[in-house]
Structure 1
Amino acid sequence: MLQDLKLRDFIEELGSSSPAPGGGSIAALSASLASALSSMVFNLTIGKKEYLEYNDAIKEDIDTSSKEVSLCKKEFLNFMEKDTEAFLSLMKAYRMPKVTDKEIKARKEAIKKGNENSQNIPFEVAKKAYKLYCYIETAVNYGNKNAISDAGVAASLTETAIEGALLNVKINIRSIKDEAYKKKIADECSNLLKKSTDKKKKIMKIIEEKLK
Structure 2
Amino acid sequence: MLQDLKLKDFINELGSNSPAPGGGSIAALSASMASALASMVFNLTIGKKEYLEYDDSIKKNIDTSLEEVSLCKKDFLNFMEKDTDAFLSLMKAYKMPKKTEEEIKFRKEAIKKGNENAQNIPFEVAKSAYKLYSYIAIAVNYGNKNAISDAGVAASLTETAIEGALLNVKINIQGIKDEVYKKKMTDECSKLLKKSTDKKKEIMEIIEEKLK
With normalisation by structure 2, the TM-score equals: 0.99
Structure 1 residue 178 and structure 2 residue 140: aligned?
A: no
Q: CA deviation at 1:102?
A: 1.3
Q: CA deviation at 1:6?
A: 0.2
Aligned partner letter, 1:27: A
Within-5 A mapping of 1:133-144? 133-144=133-144
Give the alignment's Cα RMSD to 1 decimal: 0.4
Within-5 A mapping of 1:41-56? 41-56=41-56
Residue in structure 1 matched with residue 159 of structure 2 by the alignment: 159
Q: CA deviation at 1:21?
A: 0.2
Aligned partner letter, 1:43: N
Aligned partner letter, 1:124: E
Q: Which runs of 5+ in 1 are unaligned?
A: none
Aligned partner letter, 1:125: V
SS of corresponding position for 2:97 = coil
Q: Which moved more, 1:80-89 or 1:98-107?
A: 98-107
CA distance in 1, matches of 2:113, 2:178: 16
Alignment coverage as a number of residue pairs: 212
CA distance in 2, matches of 1:98, 1:183: 30
Residue in structure 2 matched with residue 208 of structure 1 by the alignment: 208
With normalisation by structure 1, the TM-score equals: 0.99
Residue in structure 2 matched with residue 33 of structure 1 by the alignment: 33
Q: Which runs of 5+ in 2 are unaligned?
A: none
Aligned partner letter, 1:149: S
Q: CA deviation at 1:177?
A: 1.2
Q: CA deviation at 1:145?
A: 0.2
Q: Deviations over 1:156-211 (max 9, x none)?
A: 00000000000000000012111111110000000000000000000000000000
Aligned partner letter, 1:115: N
CA distance in 2, matches of 1:59, 1:16: 46
Within-5 A mapping of 1:56-95? 56-95=56-95
CA distance in 1, matches of 2:4, 2:110: 28
Residue in structure 1 matched with residue 23 of structure 2 by the alignment: 23
Structure 1 moving runs of 4+ over 4 Å: none
Residue in structure 1 matched with residue 101 of structure 2 by the alignment: 101
SS of corresponding position for 1:181 = helix
Q: Deviations over 1:131-164 (max 9, x none)?
A: 0000000000000000000000000000000000
